[in-house]
Homo-oligomer: A and B are copies of this chain.
Amino acid sequence: MPKKMLSLPLGSLPEAAPKSRQDRRREDTRRRLMKAAYELLARRGFEGVFIQEITERADVGYGSFYNHFLSKEGIASAVIDAARLHIEQIHECLGGLSADFTEAFAIELRVMLHLCKTNERWGWFVINSILSGQDLRFGVRDILKRGVDSGISNGAFKYGDVEMAYEIIGGLLLLGTLKLVSEETPEDYPARIVSTALEALRVPGHKIKDVMSKPLPEIDLPSFLEAAA
């Protein structure tokens, strides 16, 4: 296990005022619905989930669903938004960890793969969200693009065709995540994926070796629903 270096303050939003019993109950129901939807979306993807399954899994009456969400699309959007927020928070927290651009970029890719490796449900949720073409695809892509663009501007990366640089890195991460959640992979597989991505971006070998030797911060993946409820 890597040494614990960082625990993100995700989901610990300050509470403004004590809540009424009714408010707490309402929040609890909403949280249970979102958790159930998240689990079903992770397992089945977006086409195969029905509202009744969500309410049954959440142990909430079918009619109560509509006190919280307008439709299946509505709850899926809420879950996706929460996930996107979560990924952006990780991105922002990690960005401050290293003054070296390549090192910070590498740590982010390593953490993303590590989270999917240690939490299969999260990994499947990410894959199914990206497949469904929901906002998460574009959220993840934006973060990735900003990273690649910055690296090319500041000279850390030398790849000439920036559009194709996205495709290489995005493809490596998508396939890598899929293998991590669905196959036996060697212990060093995530590190090799990230090294290959850096190599594709023309980062020199000695620099890759250097940034990959840095300890990985341990990220607690909280139930993102806590932050979202």
Contact = CB atoms under 8 A, between A and B. Distances in A.
A43 to B, nearest CB: 6
A196 interface: yes
B178 A164 contact: no
B45 A164 contact: no
A131 interface: yes
Contacts of A172: 167-168, 171
B196 A168 contact: yes
A153 B143 CA distance: 38
Contacts of A176: 167, 171
A33 interface: no
A108 to B, nearest CB: 18
Interface residues of A, number: 29
Nearest to A186: B163
Interface string A128-156: 00110100000000000000000000000
Given A44-B45, A130-B178, A200-B200, 19 more contacts: A43-B47, A44-B47, A47-B48, A48-B49, A127-B131, A131-B178, A133-B182, A133-B183, A161-B192, A164-B193, A167-B176, A167-B193, A167-B196, A168-B196, A168-B200, A170-B171, A170-B175, A171-B173, A175-B175
Interface of A: 43-45, 47-49, 127, 130-131, 133, 161, 163-164, 167-168, 170-176, 178, 182-183, 192-193, 196, 200
Pairs A-B, 8 closest by C-beta atoms: A48-B48, A171-B171, A171-B175, A44-B47, A164-B196, A171-B172, A133-B182, A45-B45
